[in-house]
């Protein structure tokens, strides 16, 4: 790739004919079996690792040009992340690739060597979002390579510098017969989608996600959808208000809140409302003493369209701005802004912010807060709870979400090996580390039936024999331990288990009780010995 004075050339769309030709090439290479070789996969991921390291400065530059992302954030949330994904895959692939046993297999079938083999799916298409262009595109790429697939990447055109650097990295580091990057807008993406893929990964908005899922359904292509949502935060009077304010502010300042996982609104117990708002202001002042506009750490909104969308959401609100509120359209700056609302139909609640603005909704009882969250978005991507253990447990059990963190922002998704994914309308499927490997593999069930076992299998052959069936049932039929009312039947087996476990309910009390019993027996034995009995 030729570099101009800024270091990165303007976004160049891939020609439609070229897309088809390169698609045919990666399809043919997959059929050739080249990507089945595990050493080959590891070598490709190692090359990718070094390409990320060697292009780190260019990645920083691209992210800065696309959305004013600071070098610090470019490193912790994109470069370091991608490097870690590569290393995790290379270090663990030999373990991941091994055939897996099948849990709870009845003893009599073990001779059939039942197992699961993770096999590559074929050609994977990844359509990426703009906000974390490296993390959100390289992570699926690593998983797809690790699982033995070929891969087509279509980065978001609204992070054009990042899209060009991603193409450079892939072109320079990876086997071009297997892994390709197509750049383009809607027309190019539509053309790509005319080709048959074995799985489509889409990260982006719900509206586009619906279009992609509909298109994929035409050819029964499975999808992994990473979408957005209205993520709630819960703060009760028993929570640490300072910690809640600090950590929530952090995730709304990271990438100027353009994070699918950040909170859209915070439900705050009314009796601590003013204190919490004061804490939020204090934390903002501490993190950005000269304000966000002057802070070298604060990103800009990616383009005019997203700037207008966020501004409109704020303009349409009937709530009261309690912090921030300033903007500068000339460089797409929007200040971290908090709006106090008392109507859950307010634009600040019902729309996805995907920016540095968020709302606070007061509540009087935790049940009320839970009802509000379930009304606003019953299946958000993430959820955050600050309160006592009992309260946070209640929140987690009463409001579902793709993932959840107690006492922090999206920590559950900051851990490379943890799976990330939505539920319901916030997404389908999950990935990261081993979970990417699984997402891009077919779990193929395999059995090998010994030829010598034919006599044992007599029961299944014609002419069917009632006596053979009776014998078969006698040997292998499992008996239920419950009655017709669904009640547990405390038969011989139950009482034997109680006796053996000494009535313990878990492994720790089992060990303790047996330990005490053995100690007692030993002490008694010693005593008898010393008495010469």
- In the list ligand NAD, ligand LZNGFSDZ, none, the entry touching 414 (Cβ below 5 to 8 angstroms by class) is ligand LZNGFSDZ
Residue with Cβ nearer ligand LZNGFSDZ (148 or 419): 419
Residue numbers 165-204 binding ligand LZNGFSDZ by CB under 6 A: none
Least distance between ligand NAD and beta carbon 209 (Å): 7
Residue numbers 257-296 binding ligand LZNGFSDZ by CB under 6 A: 259-261
Strand, coil or helix: 198: coil
Least distance between ligand NAD and beta carbon 130 (Å): 4
Least distance between ligand NAD and beta carbon 360 (Å): 20
Least distance between ligand NAD and beta carbon 205 (Å): 4
Least distance between ligand NAD and beta carbon 256 (Å): 13
Clarify whether 226 is annotated catalytic: yes
Q: Which residue is nearest to ligand NAD (CB)?
A: 228
Residue with Cβ nearer ligand NAD (362 or 403): 403
Least distance between ligand LZNGFSDZ and beta carbon 49 (Å): 17
Q: Write down the catalytic residue from 226, 269, 279, 391.
A: 226
Q: How far apart are CA 117 and CA 442, in angstroms?
A: 8
Identify which of 78, 83, 87 has the alpha carbon closest to the alpha carbon of residue 135. Answer: 78
DSSP 8-state code for residue 408: S
Q: How far apart are CA 14 and CA 115, in angstroms?
A: 43
For 100-205, where are the alpha helices, taking DSSP H only? Answer: 133-146, 160-173, 186-192
Among 26, 225, 334, 413, binds ligand LZNGFSDZ (CB under 6 A): 413
Residue with Cβ nearer ligand NAD (154 or 247): 154
Torsion, CA 35, CA 39, CA 45, CA 46, rounded to 10? -150
Q: In what order do the strands lie in the sheet with 223-226?
A: 179-181, 150-154, 123-127, 199-203, 223-226, 427-428
Q: How far apart are CA 353 and CA 377, in angstroms?
A: 13
Among 38, 211, 243, 414, binds ligand LZNGFSDZ (CB under 6 A): 414
Q: Write down the catalytic residue from 260, 269, 279, 352.
A: 260
Which tokens hold the place of 234?
């819960």
Identify which of 254, 299, 294, 287 has the alpha carbon closest to the alpha carbon of residue 63. Answer: 299
- In the list ligand NAD, ligand LZNGFSDZ, none, the entry touching 77 (Cβ below 5 to 8 angstroms by class) is ligand LZNGFSDZ
Residue with Cβ nearer ligand LZNGFSDZ (76 or 271): 76
- In the list ligand NAD, ligand LZNGFSDZ, none, the entry touching 163 (Cβ below 5 to 8 angstroms by class) is none
Residue with tokens 């292009």: 55
Least distance between ligand NAD and beta carbon 126 (Å): 9
- In the list ligand NAD, ligand LZNGFSDZ, none, the entry touching 332 (Cβ below 5 to 8 angstroms by class) is none
Alpha carbon 174 to its chain centroid, in Å, reads 25
Residue with tokens 């004075």: 5
- In the list ligand LZNGFSDZ, ligand NAD, none, the entry touching 427 (Cβ below 5 to 8 angstroms by class) is ligand NAD
- In the list ligand LZNGFSDZ, ligand NAD, none, the entry touching 227 (Cβ below 5 to 8 angstroms by class) is ligand NAD
- In the list ligand LZNGFSDZ, ligand NAD, none, the entry touching 458 (Cβ below 5 to 8 angstroms by class) is none
Q: How far apart are CA 454 and CA 173, in angstroms?
A: 53
Q: How far apart are CA 298 and CA 180, in angstroms?
A: 33
The residues binding ligand NAD (CB under 6 A) are 127-131, 136, 154, 156-157, 186, 189-190, 203-205, 208, 211, 226-228, 260, 352, 354, 381, 422, 427
Q: What does the angle CA 305 – CA 306 – CA 312 come to, to the nearest 5 degrees?
A: 90
Q: How far apart are CA 3 and CA 422, in angstroms?
A: 38
Check: CB of residue 263 under 8 Å from CB of residue 252. yes
Clarify whether 269 is annotated catalytic: no
Identify which of 364, 413, 409, 401 has the alpha carbon closest to the alpha carbon of residue 385. Answer: 409
Q: Which run of H or of E encompasses 267?
A: strand 265-269
Q: How far apart are CA 161 and CA 20, in angstroms?
A: 24
Strand, coil or helix: 59: helix
- In the list ligand LZNGFSDZ, ligand NAD, none, the entry touching 140 (Cβ below 5 to 8 angstroms by class) is none
Which tokens hold the place of 58?
């260019």
Using CB under 6 A, list all residues that contact ligand LZNGFSDZ.
76-77, 81, 131-132, 259-261, 413-414
Give the residue numbers marked as catalytic.
226, 260
């Amino acid at each position: 790739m030729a570099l101009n004075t800024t270091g990165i050339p303007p976004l160049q769309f891939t020609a439609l004919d070229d897309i088809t030709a390169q698609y045919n090439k990666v399809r043919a290479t997959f059929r050739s079996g080249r990507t089945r070789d595990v050493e080959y996969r590891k070598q490709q991921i190692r090359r990718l690792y070094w390409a990320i390291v060697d292009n780190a400065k260019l990645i920083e530059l691209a992210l800065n040009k696309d959305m004013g992302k600071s070098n610090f954030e470019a490193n912790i949330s994109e470069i370091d992340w991608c490097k870690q994904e590569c290393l995790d895959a290379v270090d663990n692939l030999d373990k991941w690739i091994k055939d897996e046993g099948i849990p709870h297999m009845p003893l009599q079938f073990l001779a059939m060597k039942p197992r699961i083999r993770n096999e590559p799916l074929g050609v994977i298409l990844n359509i990426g979002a703009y906000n974390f262009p490296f993390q959100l595109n390289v992570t699926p790429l690593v998983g797809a390579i690790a699982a033995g697939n070929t891969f087509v990447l279509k980065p978001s055109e609204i992070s054009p510098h990042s899209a060009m650097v991603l193409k450079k990295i892939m072109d320079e580091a990876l086997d071009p017969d297997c892994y390709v990057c197509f750049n383009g807008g809607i027309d190019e993406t539509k053309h790509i989608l005319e080709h048959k893929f074995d799985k489509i990964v889409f990260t982006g908005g719900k509206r586009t996600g619906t279009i992609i899922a509909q298109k994929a359904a035409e050819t029964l292509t499975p999808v992994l959808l990473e979408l957005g949502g209205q993520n709630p935060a819960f703060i009760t009077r028993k929570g640490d208000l300072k910690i809640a304010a600090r950590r929530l502010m952090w995730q709304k300042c990271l990438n100027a809140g353009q994070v699918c996982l950040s909170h859209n609104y915070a439900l705050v117990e009314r009796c601590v409302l003013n204190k919490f708002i004061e804490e939020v202001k204090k934390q903002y002042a501490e993190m950005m003493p000269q304000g966000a506009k002057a802070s070298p750490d604060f990103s800009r909104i990616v383009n005019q369209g997203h700037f207008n969308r966020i501004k409109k959401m704020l303009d349409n609100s009937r709530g009261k701005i309690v912090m921030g509120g300033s903007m500068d359209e000339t460089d797409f700056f929007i200040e971290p802004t908090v709006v106090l609302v008392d109507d859950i139909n307010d634009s600040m609640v019902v729309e996805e912010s995907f920016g540095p603005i968020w709302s606070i909704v007061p509540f009087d009882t935790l049940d009320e807060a839970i009802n509000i969250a379930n009304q606003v978005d019953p299946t958000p991507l993430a959820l955050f709870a600050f309160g006592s253990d009992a309260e946070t447990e209640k929140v987690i059990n009463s409001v579902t979400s793709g993932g959840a963190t107690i006492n922090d922002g999206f920590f559950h998704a900051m851990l490379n090996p943890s799976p990330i994914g939505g539920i319901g309308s916030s997404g389908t499927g999950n990935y990261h580390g081993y979970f990417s490997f699984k997402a891009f593999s077919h779990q193929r069930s395999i059995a090998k039936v010994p030829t010598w076992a034919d006599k044992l299998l007599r029961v299944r052959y014609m002419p069917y024999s009632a006596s053979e069936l009776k014998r078969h049932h006698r040997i292998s039929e499992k008996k239920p331990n419950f009655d017709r009312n669904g009640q547990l039947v405390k038969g011989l087996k139950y009482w034997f288990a109680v006796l053996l476990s000494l009535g313990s309910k878990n492994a720790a009390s089992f060990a303790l009780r047996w330990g005490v019993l053995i100690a007692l027996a030993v002490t008694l034995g010693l005593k008898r010995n010393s008495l010469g009995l």
